[in-house]
Amino acid sequence: MSTTLNGRALAMLRAVAAGRAELTCSCEPDLRIDGLLCCDQATAHALARTGLVRPRHAVAAGQWTRAELTADGLRALGEPRAVC
């Protein structure tokens, strides 16, 4: 991803990496961190749209599920990609 991320977007990615975030299953997923809705849903949508975060599990539309970083999301945080 070539877009520079601001501090808020990086904080959201760190929360996802720490296992503290959930996404709704939708074309523009909402994000909550520590059980609270994120105050910047536009950034949350952009993180999902650009492929930095995704739902960990497939759930019904509108349902919440744990969020996870993609390989691009890990790179955006400067973390090495996990090898399975």
Per-domain boundaries in the chain: 7-76
Distance CA 10, CA 73 (A): 10
DSSP tag of 33:
E
For 28-40, write each residue's pLDDT tens digit: 899 999 999 998 9
Q: What is the pLDDT along the chain (84 residues), one digit of tens a residue?
A: 446 899 999 999 999 999 999 999 988 899 999 999 998 999 999 999 999 999 999 899 989 999 999 999 999 998 655 544
Give this prediction's pTM: 0.86
DSSP tag of 50:
T
